[in-house]
Structure 1
Amino acid sequence: MKEFPQLGFGTYKLEDRDECIDAVTTALDVGYRHVDTAQMYDNEEYVGEALAESDVDVDDVFVATKLKPANLGYDDAIETAHESAEKLGVETIDLLYVHWPLNTYDEDETLTALDELVEAGLVANVGLSNFRPDQLESAIENLDAPVFAHQVEMHPLLQQTELRELATEYDHHLVAYSPIARNEVAENDTIVEIAENHGVSPAQVSLAWVMAKGATPIPKAASPDHIRDNFDALDLDLDEAEFTAIDALDRDHRIVDFESAPWNRV
């Protein structure tokens, strides 16, 4: 089984072909070995082109994608997973998530499809994304395949304590999207002060905090400078006082929120 890197590269909003290919190939050159995309992003084909163009062997890259909420019925999940693999240029998708438990999500149909995709060898690992704790536990109980990862929004302003505890309890990875809160961390005095003390960016502080909490951040970036800056968070060590100060920032502030989101439909 492939190693799951501590830091991944997100591709949300990289919808322009050239920009997406340039960003992904740059990320691979810098050292990223985990690339995250989704059917909803409309860029799986571009990510696949970047993987093919890169000097890094695709077998050394952990490739993750997500089923669109409209494609969660049994037949659509099976069919579009094959389409995603073809677009990405891989024989096996390293990690396939249910992007949102919305629209056509049906626990029996969707999870059965995931299990069959794993059994067929098209998918190596099953993931869930944006599930409430109760939905997460129910899916874990009803899947034959183990849940490898749960992807949610997580950053110092939304610290996801309960989901981190469940990841530990059920032994799966917690993957953090929007890990720098769309750069709102750069407006937070505490994080800015810590960044200045280390001579690094606020983004690096946020990413280092997320990783220290046991989660895997997948920051998206387009410019080479931002791609490299985010990767350098791997070298940043925060001290106990800095962790305490960041822990105190939690205020349940969501960047991604809408009326029909699972947490608004309890």
Structure 2
Amino acid sequence: MDPIITRGVAIPRLGFGTFRMPGADAQPVIESALAIGYRHIDTAAMYENEAAVGAAIAASGIRRDDLFVTTKVWHDQLAPDALHRAFDASLRKLGLDHVDLYMIHWPSRDMDMAATLKALTSLQERGLTRAVGVCNFNLPMIRRAVEEIGAPIASVQLEYHPFLSQTSMLGYLREKGIPLTAYAPLAQGRAASDPTLAALGRKHGAGAAQMAVAWLLDQEGVIVIPKASRSESQKANLEACSIGLDDDDRTAIGALPKDQRFVRPPFAPDWNAIG
């Protein structure tokens, strides 16, 4: 599957998510993913596994240029000086001389968005990250970041799966040529037991979770980063790249409820805000 080119960088459309894989136990899981063929690894300071990601990369023997590594700064570190310190700490734990994408993990209600995005972009200008992005911004925030501040956003990472619509966001991002990176693409495991996805999976000789991944990859400008601890699930997610959906499949998945948001921390922005 061809990568998505955004802001001059190529992002593999299927990545490997590492949320809820804290500590050294994550290293063999990530080593397995790399051995199977993943070349896009998504981590974050909050995941507490950057050192394990770095160790897995070092052990893999894969050329650095063949990997795409994303990490993120937590929402309590968005003042410019704090953001730079957080980045330095992440880079040190990863054991890398640069990352491919550095992202704001969640917006903060009291952040100075212009100053934060300027600090983020300065890391790119210094060659410490190849691209910058944001996660969990609502549409008015994205509009401000892109249109008013002029930040060179390479991707926007959001919760996206067959049970949650991102139609408005996708419409805007496609207009601006910015890909959407879908986290929690299996709806925190719920996709695997959905009857509609299971029925479609039987038609394709695939599992329900694979159909969720295939549905996301079927869409223009969408990158998918499922988490999988077991090698069998890691392989299954990779195999979903070869599933071709037809119009009946799209109609069936499109008819699933699209109002189910499962990631709802108290500091989340207003998802109903219209930009």
Q: Give the TM-score of the pair, scaled to structure 1.
A: 0.95
TM-aligned CA deviation for residue 186 of structure 1: 2.2
TM-aligned CA deviation for residue 142 of structure 1: 4.2
Q: 1:173 to 1:206 in 2, by over 3 A?
A: same
Write the letter of the residue equivalent to 1:218.
I
Q: Which residue, out of 72, 76, 90, partners 1:70?
A: 76
Write the letter of the residue equivalent to 2:101.
L
In 1, Cα distance between the equivalents of 2:111 and 2:148?
14
TM-aligned CA deviation for residue 145 of structure 1: 4.4
SS of 2:182 mapped into structure 1: strand
TM-aligned CA deviation for residue 264 of structure 1: 5.4
TM-aligned CA deviation for residue 259 of structure 1: 3.6
- Equivalent in the alignment of 2:169: 163
Give runs of aligned pairs for residues 116-155 of structure 1, distance below 5 A: 116-155=122-161
Q: Which residue, out of 40, 47, 57, partners 1:41?
A: 47
Q: Which residue, out of 44, 48, 61, partners 1:55?
A: 61
1:11 equivalent to 2:18? Answer yes
1:163-215 Cα deviation digits (max 9, x unpaired): 11111011111000000101211232211100111121111100000011131
Q: How many residues align?
A: 265
1:207-260 Cα deviation digits (max 9, x unpaired): 000011131110011111111111111111111111111011142101101343
SS of 1:262 mapped into structure 2: coil
Give runs of aligned pairs for residues 98-109 of structure 1, distance below 5 A: 98-102=104-108, 105-109=111-115
Q: 1:80 to 1:229 in 2, by over 3 A?
A: same
In 2, Cα distance between the equivalents of 1:108 and 1:239?
43
SS of 2:10 mapped into structure 1: coil
TM-aligned CA deviation for residue 34 of structure 1: 0.5
Q: 1:265 to 1:235 in 2, by over 3 A?
A: closer
- Equivalent in the alignment of 2:4: none
In 2, Cα distance between the equivalents of 1:190 and 1:241?
12
> Is residue 70–residue 103 contact of structure 1 (8 Å, CA) maintained in 2?
no
Relative to structure 2, which stretch is displaced further, 183-192 or 121-130? Answer: 183-192
1:235 equivalent to 2:242? Answer yes
Write the letter of the residue equivalent to 1:239.
D
Percent of aligned pairs with the same amino acid: 37
TM-aligned CA deviation for residue 85 of structure 1: 1.5
RMSD: 1.5
In 2, Cα distance between the equivalents of 1:143 and 1:96?
18
Q: Which residue, out of 88, 91, 95, partners 2:94?
A: 88
1:258 equivalent to 2:259? Answer no
- Equivalent in the alignment of 2:233: 226
Write the letter of the residue equivalent to 1:65.
T
Write the letter of the residue equivalent to 1:94.
D
SS of 1:150 mapped into structure 2: strand
1:190 equivalent to 2:196? Answer yes
> Is residue 191–residue 197 contact of structure 2 (8 Å, CA) maintained in 1?
yes
Report the structure, 1 or 2, having the larger helix content.
Answer: 1
SS of 2:32 mapped into structure 1: helix
TM-aligned CA deviation for residue 117 of structure 1: 1.0
